[in-house]
Structure 1
Amino acid sequence: MPIIDAWMQHPTLRHSNHEMFDSLRRWTGGMVLEEPLPVEVTVAVLEAADVEIGLSAAWYGPQGALISNDEVASFVAQSDRRLRGVAGVDLSRPVDAVRELRRAVDELGFVALRVVPWLWGLPPTDRLYYPLYAACVELGVPFCTQVGHTGPLRPSETGRPIPYIDQVALDFPELTIVCGHIGYPWTAEMVAVADKHVNVYIDTSAYTARRYPNELVEYLRGRGRRKVLFGTNYPMITPSQALEHLEQLGLDEETRGLFLSGNARRLFAL
């Protein structure tokens, strides 16, 4: 069965070795990279788990680009179509950010925008996001963001589904919002917001299948089968690691197909 990874990144050294990820390296046993990771290594990891497409994102924060859009475009070009680009922008410069998003979509062929709120210390309801939401609607691309606590050593408040995602969905009902990292410990809130808003979705990145909270598994098995997408947060978790205990979720064939690829293919127009 083909698989689409809705949240991953091919790292640069600026990204992978950043001090804010020390806590993740402690949890996962990951090492500081001495040399840039070749794109063919990432492609091989995806192929090993039958991942047809990985949505590889840029990373922009107040300190600048940890992974730039042009670097992502280069990775995509080297991946034999295994990767698709997800844009990042400098949130502090809203006019330039909208221009860069348009360039990424129209010229580079990127399929979404991702902003990580804890990286900026600004919740998704901050006014700096709002021009980007309107641009996403006009361009027909989803807005991807992080929900739940932060593994990196940064405050977690910006990851609350209520009030932040709930309010954005009310203000921009046409905006497709994909919320990565499940929302734990506010998973029940995240499910409620996805239930409430037709264009709000959840991806499972940063968690292996055996660590999905019960609230999410029950939602995925039932009324949420068209609302949950598979993701890994590679390279922190590989697709093979994330899927190792998939059978224990008890998904029927239709739900499994929607979760692993169908929902992402629809939302990102892949």
Structure 2
Amino acid sequence: MMIIDVHCHAWPDALAERALSGRVPQLERHGDGRISSLRDVLTRSGVDRGVLLGIADTARHVDGVNRFVARERGDRLLGFGTVHPDLPAEENLASLRRNGITGVKLHSLFQGVAYDDPRLWDVLEAFGSEIAVIAHVGAGGDRRSNERATPAMVRDIARRFPDLRLIACHFGGYHRLDEAEDVLLGENVYLETSWPPTMAEVDPDRVRKIIGRHGADRVVFGSDWPMADPAREIAAIRALGLSDERTERILGGNFARLMGLNGDD
């Protein structure tokens, strides 16, 4: 069984502290966010592959972030890059192709991006099925920021772009789980399991019911390192008491299938 953590944040060592400063201050960190630390964390946690997620806060940083992701991937790391709606769709797509990147991270809180922004929809339309998307959904900032990425917005994206390979973080709604259950379960979207500081804080029976209603074949494991400890999150998933087959699919098999990975990738 291959364990894949689809939600890992890291920056160049010299920039990590500044990049993390002031972000989600209410959460305790479980790591320093340095790229040099990430591989060791994955190894100690029993994770075979981690997905390094790049995020450009502004349009001018998009290509630099994508170059960083392209440079660091390999060995234990897969790479998802970044886009920004202040860039035309064709420029975003060109940066991804130039750097050989097949997935992106959207983060409404850090990028100031609303998921119903027509400029973002232009980018998503350009992706088709070529570029996968993993997106923060739900709370984590102030009230205004929290309304930029609601479960209903993600549902609308999934319906508008049926070919898009879309992953919704935090079970589709961080601290908005009622709404996520109402509008996202059963939709054409994968749900990701991270819930900083730990998924173990969510009622296990509720998690089992969410997985049962949505389908265990459309749930993927993510930790959100450095805001959570991958080893603890793996333990929380195993503690759900799902069948071995379902647990293995969630911990790695589903993402490998979604991204067309094999043992050599």
Q: Distance in 2 between matches of 1:14 and 1:176?
A: 30
Q: Distance in 1 between matches of 2:145 and 2:222?
A: 23
State the match for 1:179 in structure 2: 168
State the match for 2:48 in structure 1: 52
State the match for 1:240 in structure 2: 231
Q: CA deviation at 1:30?
A: 6.0
1:121 aligns with 2:120: no
Kindly indicate whether the alpha-carbon contact (under 8 Å) linking 2:185 and 2:213 is maintained by their aligned counterparts in 1. Answer: no
Greater than 6 Å deviation, 4+ residue runs: none
Kindly indicate whether the alpha-carbon contact (under 8 Å) linking 2:193 and 2:219 is maintained by their aligned counterparts in 1. Answer: yes
Kindly indicate whether the alpha-carbon contact (under 8 Å) linking 1:193 and 1:200 is maintained by their aligned counterparts in 2. Answer: no
1:88 aligns with 2:77: no
Kindly indicate whether the alpha-carbon contact (under 8 Å) linking 1:191 and 1:216 is maintained by their aligned counterparts in 2. Answer: no
Q: CA deviation at 1:83?
A: 0.6
Q: CA deviation at 1:110?
A: 2.1
Q: CA deviation at 1:114?
A: 1.5
Which amino acid is 2:147 matched to? Answer: E
Q: Distance in 1 between matches of 2:43 and 2:142?
A: 28
State the match for 1:224 in structure 2: 215
State the match for 2:133 in structure 1: 143
Q: CA deviation at 1:15?
A: 5.0
Kindly indicate whether the alpha-carbon contact (under 8 Å) linking 2:138 and 2:174 is maintained by their aligned counterparts in 1. Answer: yes
Q: CA deviation at 1:191?
A: 3.4
Taking only aligned residues, the RMSD between alpha carbons, in angstroms, comes to: 2.7
Q: Distance in 2 between matches of 1:5 and 1:190?
A: 22
Corresponding residue SS for 1:185: coil
Q: Given the two structures, how large is their TM-score scaled by the length of structure 2?
A: 0.84
Q: CA deviation at 1:157?
A: 1.1
Q: CA deviation at 1:186?
A: 2.1
State the match for 2:194 in structure 1: 205
Kindly indicate whether the alpha-carbon contact (under 8 Å) linking 1:122 and 1:158 is maintained by their aligned counterparts in 2. Answer: yes
State the match for 2:18 in structure 1: 17
Provide closer, same or farther for how the CA distance between residues 184 and 129 of structure 1 changes in structure 2, counting only shifts above 3 A. Answer: same
1:268 aligns with 2:259: yes
Kindly indicate whether the alpha-carbon contact (under 8 Å) linking 1:118 and 1:150 is maintained by their aligned counterparts in 2. Answer: yes
1:75 aligns with 2:64: no
Kindly indicate whether the alpha-carbon contact (under 8 Å) linking 1:89 and 1:100 is maintained by their aligned counterparts in 2. Answer: yes
Kindly indicate whether the alpha-carbon contact (under 8 Å) linking 1:219 and 1:225 is maintained by their aligned counterparts in 2. Answer: no
Q: Distance in 2 between matches of 1:123 and 1:116?
A: 9
Corresponding residue SS for 2:73: helix
Q: Distance in 2 between matches of 1:269 and 1:56?
A: 17
Q: Distance in 1 between matches of 2:145 and 2:229?
A: 26
Q: Distance in 2 between matches of 1:154 and 1:243?
A: 32
Q: CA deviation at 1:154?
A: 7.1
Kindly indicate whether the alpha-carbon contact (under 8 Å) linking 2:174 and 2:195 is maintained by their aligned counterparts in 1. Answer: no
Q: Distance in 1 between matches of 2:79 and 2:151?
A: 25
Q: Distance in 1 between matches of 2:67 and 2:191?
A: 27
**5+ residue gaps, structure 2:** none
Q: How many residues align structurally? A: 255
Give the share of equivalent positions with the same residue, in percent. 24
**5+ residue gaps, structure 1:** none
